[in-house]
Amino acid sequence: MLGRLAKKGSIRRLAHGLYDLPQLHPKLGPLMPSVDDVVRAIQESEAITVQPTGAYAANLLGLSSQIPMRVELYTNGPKKVIRYGRQEILLKPTTPRNMAAAGTTAGLVIQALRHLGQRNVDEDTLARIAARLDDRDRKLLLKHRIHAPAWIARILTRLAERPAP
């Protein structure tokens, strides 16, 4: 059924078992769906949880302007690679400890800090992270610091205790 609809052009096959309704731009033609839309669809269809890692987490927090061509996500599901267009999404199984803060800003902060490394985190980086945090996020940082390496836990404590801008 889906194959016939894809041949007809009503829907578009992005990858095995992954379809979307193509959006048409008047000048650019068919637009590819965003990574967030594809990830959300995968989460719903496979009943998994994902946590952005590395450069993608840093980009989502505004700490990096680079948009990775290969998006890596930790998951509580199986390993999987999804390729659509020029984009690649890698789902990497991980430990429950890495998934503890999945889906929260605290989880993004932990993964972005891991990616940046201890030597590359300065006051400007902390100020940009703090600007994105609300009271709920600050409480989650304190709650999830036990799942982070010691140097990140100290930073999470500082961020949580920092006055809101």
What is the rounded distance in angstroms from the CA atom of residue 150 to the CA atom of residue 127? Answer: 20
pLDDT for the residue 165 = 66
Instruction: Give pLDDT, residue 14.
Output: 81
Joined together, the tokens standing for residue 64 give: 């990096």
Each residue of 18-50: pLDDT tens digit?
888 888 889 988 888 888 889 998 898 889 999
* Residue 30, strand partner residues: 24
pLDDT in tens, 50-91: 999 989 999 999 998 888 889 999 999 999 999 988 889 999
Give the pairing type, strands 12-15 and 18-20.
antiparallel
CA distance 8 to 118: 52
For 49, phi then psi, to 5°, come to -115, 145
Please give the Cα distance from 11 to 21 (Å, whole number): 5
- Residue for token pair 């594809």: 38
- Looking at residue 68, its amino acid is P
pLDDT of residue 34: 86
> How are beta strands 23-25 and 29-31 bridged, if at all?
antiparallel
pLDDT (tens digit, 9 = 90+) per residue, 114-147? Answer: 999 999 999 999 999 999 999 999 999 999 999 9
pLDDT at 109: 95
Phi, then psi, of 152 in degrees rounded to 5: -75, -40
Q: What is the biggest distance separating any 2 CA atoms in the chain, rounded to whole angstroms?
A: 57
At residue 12, the 3 state secondary structure works out as strand
- CB contact at 8 A, 58 and 117: no
